Chains A and B, each alone.
Chain A
């Protein structure tokens, strides 16, 4: 098949995956990966708003040094629940379960994922985990911090630890099944001609993410089970009075939870690769390096958990090994950032909303990643552990990184998903507001952290107030910024401009089928003979800057 000028754009069909069948049952019992992606989209947006309300409450409380807005027990529950909801019910599923589910079959030329019913099952498991957790929140909440450190969580907390743990435990199986589905799909269902090195980098990232999902999630499952056992039956695994070791919990917990943060960022990096290449009309510089660095990150992510235990009585020598490995795991991410930047050299950059998010990602992820180096460095981490520096670091990666990628991807693929365009002006405006609000929220926290403000404090010494006020002001801007896409995406579903199959004029496989796609994605199985981001015809690869005209659109 030839690049964009000459492939045949299929006629927009009357029947697509959205209107193929009507009725609640056709959605709740669907096997179509695209419908399941939308089911996930709705549920994770719901959880995002719950987590966001908790964030709002935290920032309101921290406006003043005294604990005057919330009682301390309430505040402790609020920050715990903010973390649990955002991490387990928003960030971990977000890109894989929505964009991954929707796009992976389309990008490889398949009709669906390998196991459609298991895909639907994973959504129901996610819902079940969510319902259990919401029950725990409504019944009284949990106040152990999302990290559940023992012995506070096993012996001292009077909150709904086991119920929340059960919700997270159940949710974990959703993750495992999604990862399993992705790996099998990518291995066995690629269209003819779609070799590994012709795959979009979005696929490579999701493959690496799935590796982590299937290897790491069972460990948190058993850790939560042990925690529940300890709390209910007082076995003594983590209780020193019974011969157990409270730090063992930390090792078990972080053995999953560190790779988990890469589950959260790798898919976003995959989206960024797509955005950078497609909105600059150039293949990613160093494609194979970016692809392999995703795999390297997945592998290395399992070797660094001890950097969360530098001040927890871990031996000095273990600390040194983990510090060394933590520096090593940063290198593949750096390679990606350089490759993305190099892609833009002598390219053709458009300022559409998705590209704005991608550019924001690169800047914010650089800051987030490099502040991670502060924490990998043993001496500085001793001072910074459990301060607001840590909070700022991970929010730069999670919000400045993962969330920006998610929003950028949503905007980019929105026409494919819904058949409508979002309003571009509002898109650019909210991207800017989010960028400004985000930096104002979290940049002051780095300073407050080094000055010594500990985290999880609901009252603090007055000298930290100025940073907190700036941070809360930023948070209100950030919240406003994020409200806008929620509104205009919904608006666009009814009033947005209709999008055709390829509104951005791109060569990817997902753009060679109508918007929205038919249920089986492609009318005929594509046969792939081109590379991932092949904009210019191969025989013209040496020619510089030739203008080409679009073929006349078919009627």
Chain B
């Protein structure tokens, strides 16, 4: 526990300090104007206090110059605040390429997390320091919100879709994880920790926690048992249904003329509501699996389909030591969306 009263939480992500800097700017401007106006008010109230009961001061109707001054200056200051906030926000909410992915499912009143390499966690998230981490999140019931004050980021988790959150931790330690969207009885109990470790310790932790299948492997089993192979092929090569191998990241042509990019949300929707976005060239014969698969199972199916490559291979999940393309400073090979 700290013996002095802090003003800001620990700064533990790459954009924590950026948010703090903007916060201090905003605080400074607020303090300045509050003190200025208070001081002027106090001064006027004393200097121009009523001295005789019937005095009437000279009326002044206004001044266009002053009005312009105190419209333009606040407007300009407001625009700086907007611009700065927007640019940091873009950073906060643009998930990077080649991030280590973790799937998060919130439910009343706990967080279930699963690493792409299979490790499951409840209310805790172990991550290595200095790596970009992308969380792909949803909820089984009501809206929750994944909030890590030390990283200065949060995002709602919404039923029926995936939302993403990303961060890169800069300091090892244990940081609060809060649910920040009221979700019922035990909303204040839906807390946990994000534990940031050195890469080596994280690797140890990973190997010490093996035993569960990766989401992709579990998804592969589901793919067989649910009968997906009968239309989409044993390895996603297609048939009566569209090809799934290599589909992730591509743009699909829909029957209503629009296009859609294949991301986690689209894959999930195609399983729960296949008639919503029908691909050109295929009839509306896929049955819905709404209610037959849980959010956890959907995450596994999504992970499996993401891993499918043409030719029957699967793309491995990145988790352990960073591959060469993840070295800081290296530019990603694909265009940024």
**Contact flag (A, B; Cβ within 8 A):** yes
Interface flags for A230-273 (1: CB within 8 Å of B; 0: not) read 00000000001101011100000000000000000000000000
- In the complex, identify which listed stretch (B78-86, B127-135, B221-229) lies at the interface while the others stay far away: B78-86
Which B residues touch A371, using CB under 8 A?
30
Residues B149 and A349 in contact, CB atoms below 8 Å apart: no
Segment 312-356 of A: residues with Cβ below 8 Å from B: 312-313, 316, 319-320, 323-324, 327-328, 330-331, 334-335, 337-339, 341-342, 344-351
Q: Verify if B291 is at the interface (C-beta below 8 Å from A).
A: yes
Instruction: Name the residue on B nearest A533 (C-beta).
Output: B59
Which A residues touch B2, using CB under 8 A?
463
- In the complex, identify which listed stretch (B155-163, B194-202, B235-243) lies at the interface while the others stay far away: B155-163
Which residues of B come within 8 Å of A, CB atoms?
1-2, 5-9, 15, 18-19, 22-23, 26, 29-30, 33-34, 37-38, 40-41, 44-45, 48-52, 54-63, 66-67, 70-71, 74-75, 78-79, 81-82, 84-94, 108, 141-143, 145, 147, 149-150, 152-156, 158-161, 163, 176, 178-189, 191, 273, 276, 290-291
Residues B160 and A385 in contact, CB atoms below 8 Å apart: no
Residues A241 and B291 in contact, CB atoms below 8 Å apart: yes
Residues A348 and B48 in contact, CB atoms below 8 Å apart: yes
- In the complex, identify which listed stretch (A182-190, A276-284, A418-426) lies at the interface while the others stay far away: A276-284
Task: State whether A316 and B89 are in contact (beta carbons under 8 Å apart), knowing that A373-B30, A450-B9, A454-B180 are contacts in the complex.
Answer: yes
Residues A327 and B78 in contact, CB atoms below 8 Å apart: yes
Q: Verify if A382 is at the interface (C-beta below 8 Å from B).
A: yes
**Min CB–CB distance B271 → chain A (angstroms):** 13
* Alpha-carbon distance A376/B181, docked complex (angstroms): 19
* Alpha-carbon distance A357/B150, docked complex (angstroms): 39
* Alpha-carbon distance A345/B153, docked complex (angstroms): 45
Interface flags for A283-303 (1: CB within 8 Å of B; 0: not) read 101111100000000000000
Interface flags for A443-475 (1: CB within 8 Å of B; 0: not) read 000010011101111111111001000000000
Q: Verify if A225 is at the interface (C-beta below 8 Å from B).
A: no
Q: Verify if A6 is at the interface (C-beta below 8 Å from B).
A: no
Task: State whether A359 and B147 are in contact (beta carbons under 8 Å apart), knowing that A280-B48, A348-B56, A350-B50 are contacts in the complex.
Answer: no
Which residues of A come within 8 Å of B, CB atoms?
67, 72-73, 76, 143-145, 149, 151-152, 155-157, 240-241, 243, 245-247, 280-283, 285-289, 311-313, 316, 319-320, 323-324, 327-328, 330-331, 334-335, 337-339, 341-342, 344-351, 359, 362-363, 366-367, 370-371, 373-374, 376-383, 385-387, 447, 450-452, 454-463, 466, 505, 533-536, 541-550
**Min CB–CB distance B12 → chain A (angstroms):** 12
Which A residues touch B180, using CB under 8 A?
385-387, 454
Residues A152 and B143 in contact, CB atoms below 8 Å apart: yes
Residues A383 and B30 in contact, CB atoms below 8 Å apart: no
Residues A456 and B176 in contact, CB atoms below 8 Å apart: no
* Alpha-carbon distance A180/B193, docked complex (angstroms): 53
Task: State whether A246 and B48 are in contact (beta carbons under 8 Å apart), knowing that A377-B82, A535-B56 are contacts in the complex.
Answer: no
Task: State whether A349 and B44 are in contact (beta carbons under 8 Å apart), knowing that A152-B183, A287-B61, A370-B30 are contacts in the complex.
Answer: yes
Which A residues touch B87, using CB under 8 A?
379
Instruction: Name the residue on A nearest B49 (C-beta).
Output: A349
Residues B158 and A247 in contact, CB atoms below 8 Å apart: yes
**Min CB–CB distance B59 → chain A (angstroms):** 5
Residues B58 and A545 in contact, CB atoms below 8 Å apart: yes
